[in-house]
Amino acid sequence: MPYRGRIAPSPTGLLHIGHACTFWTAYQRALAHDGTLVFRNEDLDPQRSKAEFATAMIEDLRWLGIRWQEGPDVGGPFAPYEQSRRRSFYLEAWRKLRDSGFIYPCRCSRKDLTLAATAPNEGDDEPMYPGTCRHRINEAPQYESPLGVNWRFRVPDGEAISFEDARHGHQSYVAGDDFGDFVIWRRDDVPAYQLAVVVDDEAMRITEVVRGADLLKSTARQLLLIRALGHREHSYYHCDLVRDESGIRLAKRHDALSLRALREQGLTPAQALGLCPPE
Ligand SMILES: [Zn+2]
């Protein structure tokens, strides 16, 4: 199968050097495989996504020298390339998961979840869900739409989810131990990141996923979704994260290390890429 990679930024702030390093690696891998690079705008969250950041991320990545063959600005056979315009694909996946008994409605309030939360796992964005609403899996068929509740994927407790990562080697996570039942559709009617990514990577025929090492555990969650939906599995390459001088991984709040700021300071693209960790 011909190589198809993707870069998938979210327009919730200016891209920083950490994103740039990951996207540069994705670009280099697509070039090395004589493949296609897809640019996908992950603007799912209507509260946090801004059109000005969507414009800025395209400009900044072009300035850096990254070129893509498909994307919101150039079109392509798998358009639209903005997640905010792909809702019908996510709804179809939601229905499939509902009908096959993989997901359940969760009515826990934020307060319930805060009270139940154990210490969040280091480096993971999602605290372990205690399974309070698991019994509601029988109620799932009654829902015509996902509206009004959180929808969670019921993970197979005790099952090891393993994959080979081209950068970090063999990876293995135990469902129900390393991560719990995760949200695939949010109460505010926004499809969750995990679901959208899995649906789009399948629809856009992505063969290798290149992204930051902070998403290694999410890959295990996504593999469960991929299997539940009967999709093909991809290859993975998780890049090392860029950290600031105190060892904290970069976030969009590190404005001084945004590509925009580096460019305004007079750095060339090559000098900016010189800040990336060695491969
Ligand atoms: Zn619940």
Distance (Å) from CA 138 to ligand 1 centroid = 14
What confidence category does residue 23 fall into, taking pLDDT thresholds of 50, 70 and 90? very high
What pLDDT sits at residue 117? 55
Torsion of CA 192, 198, 199, 204, to 10 degrees: 130
Q: What tens digit of pLDDT does each residue of 24-41 get?
A: 999 999 999 999 999 999
Say if CB 12 and CB 48 are below 8 A apart.
yes
The CA–CA distances, whole Å, from 261 to 13, 219, 248, 250, 253 equal: 13, 32, 19, 14, 12
The pLDDT tens digits for 118-162 are: 544 445 567 789 899 999 999 999 999 999 999 999 999 999 999
Q: Bigger pLDDT: 264 or 122?
A: 264
CA of 174 to the centre of ligand 1 (A): 21
Distance from C-alpha of 222 to C-alpha of 194, rounded to nearest angstrom: 6
Percent of the chain with pLDDT over 70: 91
Dihedral sign computed on CA atoms, order 46, 184, 217, 229: negative
Contact 82, 72 (CB under 8 A): yes
Question: What distances in angstroms separate CA 167 from CA 154, 179, 180, one per listed residue?
Answer: 29, 22, 26
The values of phi and psi at residue 173, to 5°, are -130, 145
Query: Which amino acid does the sequence have at 118?
Result: T
Q: Report residue 182 CA to chain centroid gap.
A: 14
> Which residue type, as a one-letter code, is found at position 267?
L
> What is the residue-wise DSSP string for 116-172?
H--PPPTT-SSPPP--TTGGGGGGGGG-SS-TTSEEEE---TT-EEEEEETTTEEEE
Q: How far is the CA of 188 from the centre of ligand 1 (A)?
A: 15
CA distance 13 to 49: 8
Q: State the Cα–Cα distance between residues 1 and 22, nearest whole angstrom.
A: 23
Range of weakest confidence among 49-53, 127-131, 153-157, 187-191: 127-131
> With 90 as the cut, is the pLDDT of residue 85 above it?
yes
pLDDT at residue 234, as a whole number: 96
Split at pLDDT 50, 70, 90, the class of 246 is low
Mean pLDDT score of the chain, rounded to an integer?
A: 92
The pLDDT of residue 109 = 84
Name the band, by pLDDT with cuts 50, 70 and 90, for residue 111: confident
The β-bridge partners of 164 are: 170
Ligand 1 centroid–CA 173 distance in Å is 23
Mapped onto helix, strand or coil, the DSSP state of residue 276 is coil
Tell me the whole-structure pTM to 2 decimals. Answer: 0.93
- Report CA(237)–ligand 1 centroid distance (Å): 33
Q: Average pLDDT of 6-13? A: 96
Give the model's pLDDT for residue 162.
Answer: 98
Asked whether the bond before 141 is cis by omega within 30 degrees of 0, the reply is no
Distance 218 CA to ligand 1 centre (A): 20
pLDDT score recorded for residue 113? 73
User: What pLDDT score does 247 carry?
Assistant: 67
Per-residue pLDDT at 249 exceeds 90 = no
Q: Is the pLDDT at 245 greater than 80, yes or no?
A: no
> How many distinct helices (H) and strands (E) make up the chain?
8, 9
